[in-house]
Amino acid sequence: MKTRMLWVLFTAFLLFVLYAWITTSHFGSFGIYYLRLAGNFFAVVGFVFIFMQFLLSSRIKLLEEGFGLDKMLHSHRYFGRIGLSFIFLHGFLIIIFQLVQSGNIITNFSLWVGIIALIGFSITAFLAVFYKKLGIAYELWKNIHLVNYILFPFVLIHVFNSASPGTLLYYLWITLAALFALIILYRLYRIYFIRSHPYEVVEVKQEANDIWSLYFTGRRLSYKPGQFMMVQLLRDGQRSSSHPFTISSSPTQKQISITPKELGDFTSTIKETKVGDKAFIDAPYGVFSFLNYDIDELVFIAGGIGITPFMSMLRYMGERQLQKKVTLFWGNQGESNLCFQDELKMLQEKMDSFSLIPVMSRQKDWPGEQGRINGQLIQKYLPELSGKDFFVCGPPVMSDAVMAELNKLGVSPSRIHREVFEF
């Protein structure tokens, strides 16, 4: 409901912006002036979508609680591409108009400020889309994103030089400029607050061959099982970039834990973390929790290290002695990738209504289920799907395939909840 309401508000805001543009525009112009009119239309829409990028990545709780930060950051990508496309069209049409009208663009200060901003946004967008193929480190990629905060004031200069004072559109730009300043202040305050309340690493535990758990103590954190947090580690005087990790501990436990798998530049160094190292934690985020839904029958579908939000939920259910019927399908390549095995066995003994179905895709001597998690396997253990909610977490390829299988089985989209595995 919150998500729908936020989309309605955004649509209403966009329509209001278009109304403001209409009241400012002169539709009686002819010929080449329609190029400028069309260019200004693309500028107005593009500006709104570019501004929304900063709002969607601001981590403002009121917005995040409706969408979930993972979905907000994915929307942030698409909004950025849409906004940049409109701005490109705006720049192209305005440059043509300027060349036809005056024969040059060299003396137009406002136009050049806009061109500089457009080039800058294009570079950061290109690197954001292709950073993995280019081999750019995650930390550098995040720092490149911060350049957009420097570029946006150039956009504002360009806008105010082109806007007509006293119009509705002019005051709208002033409002958005003020909101942009507030977003920056909010983010700076969050950084100050988080740095002022560091956590301490109290245990580093190997869970499987390439999976490690870090346990932290510090300021009491209120969160729901299944949520995630942004973590910066301070090791040997070096502070890492902020990385998202699911909270694998339960809110009922005193210590907070994350359980990363060695997958990238940063996670491959997790095992080098020492007891006593500091961590800066920004949390909680996400809406991937069974507590957000009034249901008694849960189906968890995990791929690999996507088990972590479900461990948080199962630990919470075990501690609270909740009477929920839970079926967990857990896909892995092989037995060596399994973690939390002893604890899962203990939870099965403690929770009569909890069933675990491990599925191995590459281990031929595995005595249990083999292959991929698909509709046939799900129906083998769950012949009746009505009355159940499905929670899916895993690598994008795996979760996309599972979502498709659930759709084929006729499961209503409203009964399927997905955690996007990576930003």
Token digits for 44?
A: 């107005």
Q: Cβ distance 356 to 344 under 8 Å?
A: yes
Looking at residue 422, the DSSP 8-state letter turns out to be: -
| Alpha helices, H only, 57-167 | 61-67, 69-102, 109-130, 138-162
- Per-residue model confidence (pLDDT) at position 91: 87
Q: For every one of its 423 residues, what pLDDT tens digit does the chain have, with 9 covering 90 and above?
A: 466 777 888 889 999 999 998 888 877 666 778 888 888 899 999 999 999 989 988 888 877 877 788 778 778 888 888 999 999 999 888 888 878 877 766 666 887 888 888 899 888 888 877 877 887 777 777 788 888 999 999 999 988 887 888 889 899 999 999 999 999 999 999 999 999 999 999 999 999 889 999 999 999 999 999 999 999 999 998 998 888 999 999 999 999 999 999 887 788 899 999 999 999 999 999 999 999 998 999 999 999 999 999 999 999 999 999 989 999 999 999 898 899 999 999 999 999 899 999 999 989 899 999 999 999 999 999 999 999 999 999 998 999 999 999 999 999 999 999 987 664
Rounded CA-CA distance 403/420 in Å is 12
| Burial profile 77-102: b = 16 or more Cβ within 10 angstroms, e = fewer | bebbebbbebbebbbebbbebbeeee
- Neighbouring-strand partners of residue 153: none
Length of the chain: 423
Looking at residue 240, the DSSP 8-state letter turns out to be: P
Residue 59 half-sphere exposure toward CB, CA atoms < 13 A = 17
Phi, psi of 355, deg, nearest 5: -120, 135
Rounded CA-CA distance 215/231 in Å is 12
H or E segment to which residue 379 belongs: helix 375-381
H or E segment to which residue 399 belongs: helix 396-408
Cβ atoms < 10 Å from Cβ of 112: 14
- Per-residue model confidence (pLDDT) at position 304: 92
197-285: same fold as 2-194? no
Architecture of the domain whose range is 197-285: Beta Barrel (2.40)
- Per-residue model confidence (pLDDT) at position 107: 66
Rounded CA-CA distance 250/207 in Å is 17
Q: Where are the domains of the chain?
A: 2-194, 197-285, 294-420
H or E segment to which residue 27 belongs: none
Q: Cβ distance 238 to 296 under 8 Å?
A: no
Which fold would CATH assign to domain 294-420? Rossmann fold (3.40.50)
End-to-end CA distance of the chain: 24
Torsion angle in degrees (nearest 10) through CA of 103, 105, 107, 112: 170
Rounded CA-CA distance 279/203 in Å is 13
3-state percent helix, strand, coil for the chain, nearest multiple of 5: 55, 20, 30
Looking at residue 289, the DSSP 8-state letter turns out to be: -
Cα angle 335, 337, 343; round to 5 = 85
The CATH class, in words, for 2-194 is: mainly alpha
- Per-residue model confidence (pLDDT) at position 65: 78
| Closest listed residue to residue 264, CA positions, set 312, 228, 210 | 210
